[in-house]
Amino acid sequence: METIQNKTEGPVSDELTLVRAAKQGDDSAFEELVRRYDRNVFRIAQHITQNREDAEDVVQEAFLKAYGNLAKFQEQSKFYTWLVRIAVNEALMKLRRKKPERTVSLDEEIKTEDDSLPREIADWSPNPEQQYNQAELREILSKTIQGLPPGFRTVFVLRDVEGLSTEETAAALELSVPAVKSRLLRARLQLRERLGRFFQKRESGDGDQ
């Protein structure tokens, strides 16, 4: 079985050049950084907040914060990792404001040891996503990931959707590498199990049950 290949980001070699120019007051350099990462920040924000307007706000606030604090950026990590950290914090703040009754934290304790152990093993159809049209599929994926705790879906989105490394994800979320790995496993297994309801192989002659 082949392993997963990460989606590669655009060229990062001149990222530092742009950052340094922006620090010197070159706004077109900063605008180029916005162009480069706005889509990523929007995706991350909408995955966390599950709300499009909130995601739009997060994009604006995150870039504005990055702009205002550029002088404090130490250049010890990639600008993108630093930006993601700002965006994740903004997105979690939005979520906390909306759902004050629920604790929204990246550090939430894992309740039980076997909460993600596979219970449902049934195989999926060969091309499960083709059973649905694009709109239906998006609805399924969106609803499914919404059911995960924010701390789990954030790790999943950064690692598996945005293609950050485990170390970058840990840095962006201020979590330890083992914590990222543990959350990632649980997120992947929980999503797999939930998607199984939609993608399971149907026995021939069994109808749609």
**Residue 196 binds to another protein (criterion: CB under 8 A):** yes
Shortest Cβ 75–another protein spacing (Å): 19
Secondary structure of residue 181 in the 3-state scheme: helix
Near another protein by CB under 8 A: residue from 8, 100, 109, 121: 121
Choice between 103 and 139, CB closer to another protein: 139
Q: Which two tokens stand for residue 110?
A: 């894992």
Closest to 160 measured CA to CA, from 2, 6, 20, 1: 6
**Residue 199 binds to another protein (criterion: CB under 8 A):** yes
Q: CB under 8 A: which stretch of 13-21, 73-81, 104-112, 121-129 binds another protein?
A: 121-129
CB of 202 within 8 A of CB of 125?
yes
45, 109, 145, 202, 203 from 123: Cα distances, Å: 32, 31, 20, 9, 11
CA atoms within 13 Å, Cβ hemisphere of 52: 1
> By the criterion CB under 8 A, which residues form the site for another protein?
1, 3-5, 7, 25, 27, 30-31, 34-35, 38-39, 42-43, 46-47, 52, 55-56, 59-60, 63-65, 67-69, 71, 117-118, 121-124, 128-129, 137-138, 141-142, 145, 156, 160-161, 163, 166, 181, 184-185, 188-189, 191-192, 195-196, 199
